[in-house]
Structure 1
Amino acid sequence: MARTVHLYLKVLFLTSKIQVEIDDGAKAVLESQKTCFVALWHGRILIFPKIMQEYGFFKVLTSIHNDGKYIDKFINLYGHKTIRGSTYKGGMSATKQIVKDISNNKRIVIIPDGPRGPRYKVNSAITNIAAKFNIPIIHVSFSSTKVKILNTWDKFMIPLPFSKIFVNISLPVYFKERNEQKLENLMLEQMQALDSICEIQV
């Protein structure tokens, strides 16, 4: 399954026009190889492993559920590593690993509405950890002019070949305290802006 998706992305990137807009501050943070969090909605994760290879490798927090195993294999094909668990209920082991990775200057990817939703709701302690260790959060999203939307809880988006795909990598955001609503609003605004661009392009 993971290799099939990997092959599909090769075809997608060969046939599609990919436009990446990255904030200068985000580029500086990513190129510095210093610790940061990267936040993605569950339904918009498909092209992340390929897009972010330009900035090195990341540690990705994945679910302890069965679907996490498939994501692990897929992520590993691009050289990224995984952390199994959650930063929400019962996620002490994952949180301890994240804290350890922070001390080792790892860049960590969090999917704040995973693994089961609700869709587009931040149910992770990411902003709390970010505030405690003064770590910036960069949120990433994409949209496409030609897509297949799966009938799943997250409305998983699959860009189709010969599309125009727009990617946005946001400015780094620092939190002084836990604030899930602020992160949620920023990520929603980003996603909606990209969807609007694609609607105009069609």
Structure 2
Amino acid sequence: MAGSYLALCNRTTRWQVEGLDDLRAALAQGPVLLVMWHGRSVMAALHWPVADGPLTSLYDSSPIGRVSGALQRRVGLRSIQMSRQTTNLAASRIVLKRVREGISIGMTADGPLGPAYQVKDAPLEWARITGVPVFCYAFATTRGLRLNTWDRMLVPRLFGHGAMVFARFEGTVPRKPDDATRSNLREQMRRFMDATTARADRLISR
């Protein structure tokens, strides 16, 4: 039911799109890592260009996570449910295997439990071990509802005006970053993701 509702919202929203051509050009060369804030992630599966390349997304076992996983499978993505007991090493092995198969990876930079809008180590670690380009995604809508969740997740309503933005992160993650480099890269990515989200918000305010 949730998937059907979101698909209907997607069809009835007038979308502005930025950065999709850049994403498609990168996908023509191979897989990418797609990162987003948890609070702006609910439409990502519907906005991913499935025809240009497969995407695997790891989702949590929470109710929202299971809805997200079901929606991803419905639109043809290759989602994987992760147990909260899954180690970072095990998750990294899954990610690396999928990338070697030519499959892009989607993830929330601050999820699944927050704190909201703080980049965790996983995006940098997966960028490091895969070496693939990193793209940030965000969406905004003039008709949306904020859920009473830790991330104040944005859910669209019908018949709005919306924007989706894909933007390439140009930061480079070295093979063996020290603590200072890792901390600096987390801050760079946080600022870039905030800027990508702000760009989507500006597009709907015109």
Shorter chain as denominator, the TM-score bin is 0.7 to 0.9
Do structure 1's residue 181 and structure 2's residue 194 form an aligned pair? no
Structure 1 equivalent of residue 178 of structure 2:
none
Q: Secondary structure at the match of 1:166?
A: strand
Q: CA RMSD in A?
A: 2.4
Residues 1:92 and 1:51: Cα distance change in structure 2 (over 3 Å): same
Q: Which runs of 5+ in 2 are unaligned?
A: 175-181
CA separation in 2, counterparts of 1:50 and 1:133? Answer: 25
Q: CA deviation at 1:160?
A: 1.3
Do structure 1's residue 167 and structure 2's residue 173 form an aligned pair? no
Do structure 1's residue 91 and structure 2's residue 97 form an aligned pair? no
Q: Secondary structure at the match of 1:170?
A: strand
Deviating more after overlay: 152-161 vs 56-65 = 56-65
Residues 1:67 and 1:8: Cα distance change in structure 2 (over 3 Å): closer
Structure 2 equivalent of residue 112 of structure 1:
109
Do structure 1's residue 37 and structure 2's residue 43 form an aligned pair? no
Kept in 1, the 8 Å contact 2:6–2:43? The answer is yes
Q: CA deviation at 1:49?
A: 1.1
- Match among 10, 15, 19 for residue 18 of structure 1: 15
Q: Deviations over 1:21-55 (max 9, x none)?
A: 116432201244x1210001111112111111343
Q: Secondary structure at the match of 1:81?
A: coil
CA separation in 1, counterparts of 2:107 and 2:170? Answer: 14
Structure 2 equivalent of residue 140 of structure 1:
137
Structure 2 equivalent of residue 51 of structure 1:
47
Residues 1:128 and 1:30: Cα distance change in structure 2 (over 3 Å): same
Deviating more after overlay: 45-54 vs 58-67 = 58-67
Q: CA deviation at 1:64?
A: 4.4
Kept in 1, the 8 Å contact 2:31–2:99? The answer is yes
Kept in 1, the 8 Å contact 2:133–2:168? The answer is no
Kept in 2, the 8 Å contact 1:60–1:82? The answer is yes
Deviating more after overlay: 13-22 vs 38-47 = 13-22
Q: Deviations over 1:138-192 (max 9, x none)?
A: 0110101111111211111011111111000112535233422111110011112
Residues 1:164 and 1:31: Cα distance change in structure 2 (over 3 Å): farther
Q: Secondary structure at the match of 1:113?
A: coil
Structure 2 equivalent of residue 195 of structure 1:
201
Residues 1:100 and 1:21: Cα distance change in structure 2 (over 3 Å): same
CA separation in 1, counterparts of 2:12 and 2:55? Answer: 26
CA separation in 1, counterparts of 2:87 and 2:23? Answer: 31
Q: Secondary structure at the match of 2:102?
A: coil
Q: CA deviation at 1:20?
A: 1.1
Residues 1:101 and 1:10: Cα distance change in structure 2 (over 3 Å): closer
Q: Secondary structure at the match of 1:125?
A: helix
| TM-score for both structures, normalised by structure 1 | 0.86
Aligned residues: 196
Do structure 1's residue 68 and structure 2's residue 65 form an aligned pair? yes
